[in-house]
């Protein structure tokens, strides 16, 4: 079965799906994106992702390509046409097609929208075997990492360095020696004193939807946590660490630069939060369902 993409109003097999060489995403990385998990055919935390998309678009002054409701229909249609049960939807909006000049094109130029879906590994029932190793890298990104732009070169280089080191993720460290986030995930610790922490939102990190969903669940469960950043030394001394992202959910971080974090096994807090998020995503209902 050939994969189907939505490209500017049409559903096309991937081999026929194409954008212009003058698309500003291609020329300037002038666009934003979202990755929305799909589980059992349902979009997970769709509202959070569409809120963040609206914010990203607003921050770089691209008009929404269609209404939120219409976009929801397209996302579901792409999932359906690709028969994705477990996997993800990728959507990208760029400033559109125009002669290559840095300032924005004239107002008539419409934003371009591409949506794809693909199957992925099913998230396991328990976090055992789901843990990963990471390396550390200097955070070389720009000063507005809160916008989910398609300009991901530093992230790509950091993740490639991780792969070449036999690790999965790169944990990014700012100039003050503090952890910002992973190259494609937010980072959490249970610190040496037993406090669950993740860095507060701000321009240095992406406001992760999985992070937001988990924080909501922590509130419901009365689990104490602090939105307080931590240093690389804190991470090395942590009892537990884990990542959150649309594709990792809660992913135990067991080794850093070759050394174990805590005892190098999935810790009790990580295990509990994995279970909490698993219950949350399993309970997600698709808006389009009766």
Question: Contact residues for ligand PDD (CB under 6 A)?
Answer: 35, 181, 184-186, 206, 208-211, 244-247
Distance from C-alpha of 254 to C-alpha of 131, rounded to nearest angstrom: 6
Quick one: 213 or 269, whose CB is closer to ligand PDD? 213
Q: Are the C-beta atoms of 25 and 112 separated by less than 8 Å?
A: yes
Neighbours of 57 (CB within 10 A): 20
How far apart are CB 6 and ligand PDD at their closest, in Å? 18
Quick one: 179 or 206, whose CB is closer to ligand PDD? 206
H or E, element range at 132: strand 132-138
Question: What does the block give as tokens for 285?
Answer: 């209902």
How far apart are CB 183 and ligand PDD at their closest, in Å? 6
How far apart are CB 107 and ligand PDD at their closest, in Å? 30
> From the candidates 24, 42, 95, 148, which is the catalytic residue?
148
Quick one: 209 or 235, whose CB is closer to ligand PDD? 209
Quick one: 208 or 262, whose CB is closer to ligand PDD? 208
Q: Are the C-beta atoms of 98 and 112 separated by less than 8 Å?
A: no
User: Catalytic residue at 110?
Assistant: no
Return the axis-axis angle of helices 46-60 and 209-220, rounded to nearest 10°: 130
Of 205, 199, 207, nearest to 246 (Cα)? 207
Q: Are the C-beta atoms of 42 and 285 separated by less than 8 Å?
A: yes
How far apart are CB 223 and ligand PDD at their closest, in Å? 18
Distance from C-alpha of 133 to C-alpha of 266, rounded to nearest angstrom: 12
Catalytic residues: 148
């Amino acid at each position: 079965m050939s994969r189907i993409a939505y490209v500017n109003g049409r559903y096309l097999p991937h081999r026929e799906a194409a954008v212009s060489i003058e698309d500003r995403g291609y020329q300037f990385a002038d666009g934003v994106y979202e990755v929305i998990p799909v589980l059992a055919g349902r979009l997970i935390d769709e509202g959070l992702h569409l809120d963040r998309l609206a914010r990203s678009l607003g921050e770089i002054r691209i008009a929404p390509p269609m209404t939120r409701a219409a976009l929801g229909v397209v996302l579901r249609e792409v999932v359906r046409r690709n028969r994705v049960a477990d996997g993800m939807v990728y959507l990208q909006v760029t400033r559109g097609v125009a002669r290559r000049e840095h300032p924005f094109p004239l107002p008539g130029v419409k934003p371009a929208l591409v949506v794809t879906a693909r199957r992925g590994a099913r998230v396991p029932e328990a976090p055992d075997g789901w843990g990963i190793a990471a390396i550390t890298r200097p955070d070389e990104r720009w000063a507005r990492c809160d916008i989910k732009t398609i300009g991901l070169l530093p992230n790509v280089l950091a993740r490639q360095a991780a792969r070449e080191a036999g690790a999965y993720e790169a944990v990014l460290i700012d100039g003050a020696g503090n952890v910002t986030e992973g190259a494609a995930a937010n980072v959490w610790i249970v610190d040496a004193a037993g406090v669950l922490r993740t860095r507060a939102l701000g321009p240095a990190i992406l406001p992760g939807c999985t992070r937001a969903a988990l924080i909501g669940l922590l509130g419901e469960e009365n689990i104490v946590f602090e939105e307080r950043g931590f240093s690389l030394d804190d991470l090395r001394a942590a009892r537990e660490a884990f990542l959150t992202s649309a594709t990792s959910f809660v992913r135990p971080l067991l080794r850093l630069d070759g050394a174990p974090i805590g005892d190098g096994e999935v810790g009790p807090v990580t295990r509990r939060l994995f279970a909490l998020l698993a219950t949350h995503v399993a309970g997600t209902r698709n808006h389009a369902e009766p």
